[in-house]
Amino acid sequence: MVPVFSIYILHSASADKYYVGYSHDIPARLLDHNEGDRAQQSAKYTFKHRPWRLACSFEVGTDRGEAMKIEKYIKRQKSRSFIEKVIEIHKNQEELAQLTSVPARRD
């Protein structure tokens, strides 16, 4: 089975910071950010701002390279307001889907 990649945005309430990444297994990736014990984990950005919660995620397809491009595009904006706009758009799409009885994917 070909993995489907998603962009995910995490939020740290304790640090009030966002983190953007991509993965084909978001639950495992979130667990890794919050509890990972890989070598050098304590030097990573996400380790310092734990705990993280999933703010939003959206599928981008089976092309890992495309997922990487989208992740880099969002990160290059270096804009909290841009990230919050992405989250809001995603939330509004879910709300619209619920209003029109179209099943929405919930994360």
Digitized pLDDT (tens) for each residue of the chain, 107 residues in all: 899 999 999 999 999 999 999 999 999 999 999 987 766 776 778 888 999 999 999 999 999 999 999 999 999 999 999 999 999 998 888 777 777 655 555 55
Please give the C-alpha separations between residue 52 and each of 29, 61, 91, in angstroms, as whole numbers: 11, 24, 18
> What is the rounded distance in angstroms from the CA atom of residue 53 to the CA atom of residue 33?
10
Phi/psi for 50 (5° steps) reads -70, 155
CB atoms under 10 Å from CB of 46, counted, come to 20
- pLDDT for position 45: 83
How big is the CA angle at 75 (ends 72 and 81), to the nearest 5 degrees? 145
Do 7 and 74 form a contact (C-beta atoms < 8 A)? yes
Phi/psi for 13 (5° steps) reads -70, -35
Q: Domains of the chain, with CATH numbers?
A: 5-99 (3.40.1440)
